[in-house]
Amino acid sequence: MRHDFGKVVIERPRWGSSARNAKVRWFGRIVPDPEVDGGYEYEGPTRIPGSSHAEGFLKGKILEKGFTDVLGPIRGYLHRNVGRPWDKIYSELSQALGSGSWPVRHVLTQHVDVYAKTYRGVDGAVWALEKSGPYQVSPSFSRPEFYVQPETGLLRVCPKRPNPKKQPTETDLNLVEAGGGRWFSNLDGIWYLGEYVFDPGETGRYPVWRFRKLKTCSKKEIRDLLAKRKAILKKKFPKFRIPVE
């Protein structure tokens, strides 16, 4: 780990830090009220609304603020240290990010994607203790990216959910271009040569394209169109097992 790792991660200019924060008085008004001491009373919320809510009601009064922590080096460091004890990794990160409570608490507890508190369930799966309750460490596209193995305390990478294989649609399987504006179409197990004609439909109906049969395909035409379809499917869906007809 480089000696200035903490500066690389957290030392970036903050823009908008001098902008004023929301004030309670901006959300209400002072009205006369003879029943209270002083003759005036405040009408409005007594607490400051959330920042996004406040910005919506106070255009021009609240300037946006930015926070630009750079977390890529931490994620790369964790990937390089997979298989090491998490306690040692956490100690090294804490030392590099500073001994004060602010950088350690902010970066390590809120932005480091690690399931640190884990246990082995009776089902054999690894479970993490989150604020909302137990959560199974399962293949996922989302974060956290890492978890601590409960038996050994070593840092591990969360399993990734495999991308589903792209499958052809019914149109890909049952429609092959014949050229000249004509198509081979498989209807109820029979291949036809035809063309699509535009049907404007009756009043109040949507216009559609309809397939008009011209003739039934011969054995040679079926053999040729199946070979053409096989080449198209193999190129478009390389992992799909092409059915044999």
Same domain, 126 and 52: no
Same domain, 129 and 102: yes
Asked, for residue 190, whether it belongs to a domain, the answer is yes
Looking at residue 183, its pLDDT comes to 93
Looking at residue 156, its pLDDT comes to 92
The span from the CA of 33 to the CA of 42, in Å, is 9
Looking at residue 99, its pLDDT comes to 56
Asked, for residue 241, whether it belongs to a domain, the answer is no
Asked, for residue 242, whether it belongs to a domain, the answer is no
3-class SS shares of the chain: helix, strand, coil, % to 5: 30, 25, 45
Same domain, 16 and 83: no
Q: Cβ contacts of residue 146 below 8 Å, gap of 6+?
A: 78, 82, 113, 114, 115, 155, 156, 157, 158
Report yes or no: 96 and 10 within 8 Å, Cβ to Cβ: no
pTM of the shown model: 0.48
Pinpoint the alpha helices (H) of the chain. 5-10, 51-57, 72-80, 86-97, 101-103, 109-110, 170-174, 219-236
Same domain, 215 and 179: yes
- Tens-place pLDDT, residues 204-215: 566 778 889 999
Asked, for residue 127, whether it belongs to a domain, the answer is yes
Q: What are phi and psi of 192, to 5 degrees?
A: -120, 150
Extract the tokens encoding 93: 């990160």
Same domain, 119 and 90: yes
Give the distance between the most distant pair of CA atoms in the chain. Answer: 101
Q: Cβ contacts of residue 21 below 8 Å, gap of 6+?
A: 48, 62
Looking at residue 192, its pLDDT comes to 94
Asked, for residue 244, whether it belongs to a domain, the answer is no
Range of the domain at 201: 170-236
Looking at residue 119, its pLDDT comes to 92
pLDDT average per 10 residues of sequence, the chain (245 residues): 73 64 73 85 73 59 60 85 92 76 64 86 88 81 79 89 77 89 91 88 70 92 92 84 70
Same domain, 128 and 174: no
Question: Residue for token digits 């039934």?
Answer: 216
Asked, for residue 62, whether it belongs to a domain, the answer is no
Same domain, 144 and 192: no
Domain boundary among 127, 157, 187: 157
Residue 6: count other Cβ atoms within 10 Å of its Cβ.
21
Looking at residue 60, its pLDDT comes to 55
Looking at residue 217, its pLDDT comes to 93
Same domain, 136 and 201: no
Same domain, 36 and 79: no
Residue 198: count other Cβ atoms within 10 Å of its Cβ.
9
Same domain, 106 and 176: no
Question: How many structural domains does the chain have?
Answer: 3
